[in-house]
Amino acid sequence: YTGKTGSELLTEKIKRYKVHEFQQVPVAVNEKVSVYDAISTMFLEDVGTLFVVDENSCLVGVLSRKDLLRSSMGRQDLSSIPVPIIMTRMPNITVCRKNDLLVDVAHQLISKQIDGVPVVKDTENGLEVIGRITKTTMTKLLVELTMEDTI
Ligand code: ADP
């Protein structure tokens, strides 16, 4: 018997969770697509954040819902605007890796005020996008924890 309370055990358990245990499938678009196509993809794939990748599947940018909404407010033809014009670019993208702690990613989501981060793998061509962690990932985890009867 460790003498630890239930909540101490729960906290320790949560602090050990790694990104790879919870990461979801990423949705990415190529850097050559138009803003119009990115909006279509966001609806079709039912995600709030799109990752923009080059021909090697390496990360070059991020597109949020508001990035796309903002670009839709003018009179431009959205099918003629390439996504690099409006995306948030590397190296200003917050990323995580599969062995990072999930709580550290949660802290990043709060401190950077973003909805999600890509899970990346280091390759010779850059950072390959292999997953995503979002606020929904965190909400799902909270629900799972409250459904379990034992720790
Ligand atoms: P929304 O803009 O729809 O509220 P976010 O809060 O996720 O969604 O995005 C806010 C801004 O931060 C956007 O301009 C977006 O491009 C950028 N952003 C989103 N995710 C990241 C990330 N992982 N790293 C850096 N910037 C990001």
Query: Please, which residues have CB within 8 angstroms of residue 61's CB and are 6 or more apart in sequence?
Result: 31, 51, 52, 83, 84, 87, 88, 89, 90, 93
* 32, 86, 43, 46 alpha-carbon torsion, rounded to 10°: 100
Question: What is the dotted CATH code of the domain comprising 6-147?
Answer: 3.10.580.10
Residue with CA closest to ligand 1 atom 1: 66
Å from CA of 114 to ligand 1 middle: 5
Q: How confident is the model at residue 23 (pLDDT cuts 50, 70, 90)?
A: very high
Residue with CA closest to ligand 1 atom 12: 114
Kindly report, residue by residue over 81-120, the tens digit of the pLDDT. Answer: 999 999 999 999 999 999 999 999 999 999 999 999 999 9
Per-domain residue ranges of the chain = 6-147
DSSP 125: T
From 23, 39, 64, the mutation candidate for ligand 1 (largest count of ligand atoms within 8 A of CB) is 64
pTM of the entire structure? 0.94
18 and 98 in contact (C-beta within 8 Å)?
Answer: yes
DSSP 12: H
Å from CA of 63 to ligand 1 middle: 7
Give residue ranges with CB within 6 A of ligand 1. 49, 62, 64-67, 88, 92-94, 113-117
Q: How confident is the model at residue 149 (pLDDT cuts 50, 70, 90)?
A: low
